[in-house]
Structure 1
Amino acid sequence: MGAGQSRSEPSEKIFRNETPIQFSGDVVNTLADRSASTDPTPERQATIDEHIRSRIHTELGRLRAEEENVQAEIARALEKENLDRERGMAGAADDAGGVKSSAALMGDLDEIRTKVDRFKERRGLKDMPAVKAGADGVLACYQKNPTTPLDCWREVERFKTAVSQAERDFFKSLQY
């Protein structure tokens, strides 16, 4: 009744082959060459290379995405820092309470440039004919005497005198 279960049988079973197995010399040589060779077969090497290329491509894509994220964070931080600096400068410099942005300041700068250009046009040499005539005389003399510019000393003196007279007149106009 329970005697069959209490007997211990070996857990390994060994089967003996009574038919001899033989391999051809080519098969044995091929297997021996493959086991002796450390290089993988060309097909295996191509598979390994393709796998490595795909991993490199994946990693490169991940690094590029990470670089874009870092650049975007840097741009946001710089923009915030610049805005904070502008607010601080505007708060310290502007007692009226109006904070101007960079675009508004650039507009003001352009407006001032146009006013300066208009002033220069108005105050050009047309109001000072002696200075214009002196400058034209010096230019003509230098063009006429390119190898001997020292011959133009009279024209240069006339020009200097006209400029100094124009300066005196200008400063007199500011005093009144």
Structure 2
Amino acid sequence: MGAAQSRGNTEEKVFHNETPIQFSQDVVNHLTDRMVSPETTPERQTTLDSHVRSRIQAELEHLRTEEDNVRKEIELALEKENLDHEMNLTGGIATGEDTHDKVMSSTALLGDLEEIRTKVDRFQTRQQLSDFPSVKESGEAVVSCYKSHLKTPLDCWREVSEFKASVAHAETQYLASLR
């Protein structure tokens, strides 16, 4: 069963079509136009464009992360180099005390200085506002108005103008005190 069909038959069979095949002129024109102009269709072009854009965005993200990693490595290397340099500079001092405890890194010192600056600024701001209670009150009125009119902040124009007036008055008083 089926042995005759599974054997390789070397005879070539040719079939002839007795009914002619005809294509409409629109189909023929469309196919010849495609062969003449190998341009892509607008749909295909938008697909290609979006694919290219997504690849570019992915590559940009990859490059940004690499750049951040390199920047962090450089900063760490520079910080280590600065610490080593500071330790070498203070290593020649023989005072009997532990030089490691005595010497602080420049980054730690800068951080401490910045913290002290912010504390001084806050203290001075509090002192200045306590000299001018009208500025403090009008400022609090503006803040409370903004909080109560979240969707319509333009309704707080009176409080803002009062705040501006109190600040202008405080400025003139301060300038007069400097003379």
Count the aligned residue pairs. Answer: 105
Give the drift of 1:81: 0.9
Match of 2:91 in 1: 91
2:13 equivalent to 1:9? no
Deviations 1:34-61 (CA, angstroms, capped at 9, x unpaired): 1111221111111111111111111001
SS in 2 for 1:55: helix
Give the drift of 1:82: 1.1
2:79 equivalent to 1:76? no
Match of 2:138 in 1: none
- The answer for unaligned runs of 5 or more in structure 1 is 108-176
Alignment of 1:6-85 (within 5 A): 9-10=9-10, 14-85=14-85
**What is the TM-score when the length of structure 1 is the normalising length?**
0.51
Give the drift of 1:91: 1.0
2:109 & 2:58 partners in 1: Cα distance?
Answer: 46
Match of 2:132 in 1: none
Deviations 1:78-108 (CA, angstroms, capped at 9, x unpaired): 111111111111112354332311345998x
Give aligned-pair identity as a percent: 55
Change (3 A) 1:14 1:76: farther
Change (3 A) 1:62 1:25: same
Equivalent position amino acid for 1:63 in 2: L
Deviations 1:92-126 (CA, angstroms, capped at 9, x unpaired): 2354332311345998xxxxxxxxxxxxxxxxxxx
Larger Rg, first or second structure (1 or 2) = 1
Tell me whether 34-43 or 85-94 shows the greater mean CA deviation.
Answer: 85-94
**What is the TM-score when the length of structure 2 is the normalising length?**
0.50
Change (3 A) 1:4 1:81: same
2:24 & 2:12 partners in 1: Cα distance?
Answer: 31
Change (3 A) 1:83 1:94: farther
1:86 & 1:59 partners in 2: Cα distance?
Answer: 40
